[in-house]
Structure 1
Amino acid sequence: MQIKKKFLGGIFCSLSALLMAVEPQAAGDGQPAPQLRIVTSFYPVYIATLNVAKDIPGVQVVNLTKPFTGCLHDYQLVPDDLKTLANADVFIINGAGMESFLEKAVREIPQLKTIDAGKNIALIKDKNGANPHVWLSVTLAMKQVQNITAGLIERDPAHASLYQHNCDDYVHKLEVLRSRMKAELKQLKSREIVTFHEAFPYFAQEFDFKIVAVVERDPGSEPSAREMVETVQLIKKHKARAIFIEPQYPDKSAHAIAHETGASVCLLDPAVTGPMTENAYLQIMEKNLAALVKTLKD
């Protein structure tokens, strides 16, 4: 009889462990499990989604990648990522090729539902393909917010009015930001800038800047000696006053070029890392505005 009890107890424990592994977990601190679990691919998509889904009961937003990951260039999924995606009701991506791992994710988790924040956005293309850094245009950031909203309303129609209210509120804040940036930046006579990598074409297009050179086409890839010489020549030719580096990456190459040209080295943040708070994108872009005005004003 004692053996039978132990045997049944062992089966119960095994079943309990199995159920815990497959059932959604409670949110913690006595909170019920979310009714809609949204997973975002990386930082700018997370911030946009956080604004659309804020204060909506039963909706949880989590980010797939670590806050310090930055752009998803060559990002490789790890087992914990697949576990997170397997528990997602919807996965929101930047699109435009940023999530190079998406094909693998869908293959591993065929039931994964996605919302493409970059849907129907006209992309800037060059010999390397489409540029995915669309959120650095404030106008296109608004479009991404609207795409996210439409996708969540389709997925969760019971909360349609709340999603739409949040969307309208955040888009208004973005409109105010865009107007202020355009008003201040149009006063700058110097329009030629040098950027650290290919993150800022949409920003330059929106605010009428000309990117005359790029230090590193891909972050972490040191330019060759020939590329360094060409960049120095371009900076001197266009009389660019500053090289804008990014806080997420080493700046050795930029400082070497600045030494040869006399250009200043300043920060321009691509908004791929930062505080995990609703106003983070607005604050980062305000800092970018201040940096440009300080560096390029006469």
Structure 2
Amino acid sequence: MEEKKSLKITLIFTICFFVFIVSFFSVWKVSLSEKRVSASADSEKIKITASFYPIYIMLLNLTDGIDDVEVSLLAPAETGCLHDYQLTTGDMKLIEKCDILVVNGSGMEDFFDKAFSLKKNSVVVASDGFKPFDGNPHVWVSVSGAIYEVQKITEGLCSLDSKNSESYKKNYLIYIEKLNALEQKMKTSLAPFAGKKIITFHEAFPYFAKEFGFEISAVIEQEPGTVPSAKELAKIIESIKSVTNRGEEVALFAEPQYSSSVAKIISNETGLSVYELDPCVNGQLEKNAYIEGMEKNLSVLMNAFSEEKK
């Protein structure tokens, strides 16, 4: 009797173990299959890499809703302008793996020589054909410049990824409509202040100033991190006093990405308030970040020029 009971227990245990093994391998097989499908889907995606923040924001808009496209950012969002940026090993791997590399051009990515050679047939240069002022690469800081670059990027994407060309064109029209509205809003709002003199933190705003009719009286730092000498600083202060002594108005601007300590020295010596103009080189990784940044600049400018009249 005991022997039969033991045999029965052994049989039940064997059946349960068998059922467990079958179930385990069934689940494992399904999971493995799903992973393979996911990996296959990822490998089939068009990988687009932006050199830095403003280009990335443009790409977020142009690739919106396109499932088989993946956009990545090379220089970290907090980098700002690429004046002193150095490519890392990780950057080179990202460039090697991407299908399309999108850069600003006009000298902004001079350190990309090796990367350009790696991707020479799949590089989109946003400022290609744009006539730079004195070699200045900050094309996107002007809204019309951003519109130019969005158009060039769209042309490049359509050429290199023809399968998604219609989607790129559709997204282009949506984003361009927003940028055109932004440009018109800013031109209308800032028209009364045409001819006003401004002092900017570094050489990021010549296209912006031209677009909205401002005159750049001085630049605090020709390159971020290159603090002006005592002689240069004295010259800036003297030029400001010369302007204000003639009864002309001038507005002083720092940038949110950099220390405003030098601007504060100028402020103390001249009595000017310090405001911030954003060249939109970093910020939130969201589609509307550029437009929101420019609208904030509009608000700052309106406030600065209104304060001058008080």
Rg (Cα) greater in structure:
2
Question: Is this a same-fold pair by TM over 0.5?
Answer: yes
Q: Indicate the TM-score class for this superposition, using the shorter chain for normalisation.
A: 0.7 to 0.9
Aligned equivalents of 2:168, 2:261: Cα separation in 1: 44
Q: Which one has the bigger helix percentage?
A: 2
1:249 matched to 2:258: yes
1:135 and 1:144 in contact (8 A); partners too: yes
1:44 matched to 2:54: yes
Aligned equivalents of 1:27, 1:44: Cα separation in 2: 33
TM-score calculated relative to the size of structure 2: 0.83
1:59 corresponding residue in structure 2: 69
Deviates most, 199-208 or 25-34 = 25-34
TM-score calculated relative to the size of structure 1: 0.86
Q: CA deviation at 1:93?
A: 0.3
Which of 91, 97, 112 matches 2:101?
91
1:270 matched to 2:279: yes
Identity of aligned residues (%): 41
Structure-2 change in CA distance of 1:259 and 1:60 (3 Å): same
2:30 corresponding residue in structure 1: none
1:231 corresponding residue in structure 2: 236
Q: CA deviation at 1:103?
A: 0.7
1:153 corresponding residue in structure 2: 158
Aligned equivalents of 2:181, 2:56: Cα separation in 1: 21
Deviates most, 189-198 or 160-169 = 189-198
Q: CA deviation at 1:57?
A: 1.9
Aligned equivalents of 2:103, 2:36: Cα separation in 1: 25
Aligned equivalents of 1:183, 1:288: Cα separation in 2: 14
Structure-2 change in CA distance of 1:259 and 1:83 (3 Å): same
Please list every run of 5 or more consecutive structure 2 residues that lacks an aligned counterpart in the other structure: 1-34
Aligned equivalents of 1:94, 1:293: Cα separation in 2: 29
2:138 and 2:205 in contact (8 A); partners too: yes
After the TM superposition, which parts of structure 1 deviate over 3 Å for at least 4 consecutive aligned residues? 25-34
1:221 matched to 2:226: yes
Structure-2 change in CA distance of 1:28 and 1:84 (3 Å): farther
Aligned equivalents of 2:130, 2:120: Cα separation in 1: 26
Superposed, 1:151-230 pairs within 5 Å as 151-188=156-193, 191-230=196-235
Structure-2 change in CA distance of 1:200 and 1:89 (3 Å): same
Which of 96, 112, 116 matches 1:102?
112
Q: CA deviation at 1:32?
A: 3.2
Structure-2 change in CA distance of 1:210 and 1:28 (3 Å): farther
Which of 138, 145, 153 matches 1:133?
138
Letter in 1 for 2:73: N
1:114 corresponding residue in structure 2: 123
2:237 and 2:266 in contact (8 A); partners too: yes
Aligned equivalents of 2:152, 2:217: Cα separation in 1: 32
Aligned equivalents of 1:27, 1:131: Cα separation in 2: 46
- CA-based RMSD: 2.0
2:11 corresponding residue in structure 1: none
Q: CA deviation at 1:241?
A: 3.6
Which of 69, 75, 93 matches 2:79?
69
SS in 1 for 2:218: strand
Aligned equivalents of 1:84, 1:26: Cα separation in 2: 22
2:12 corresponding residue in structure 1: none
Letter in 1 for 2:268: H
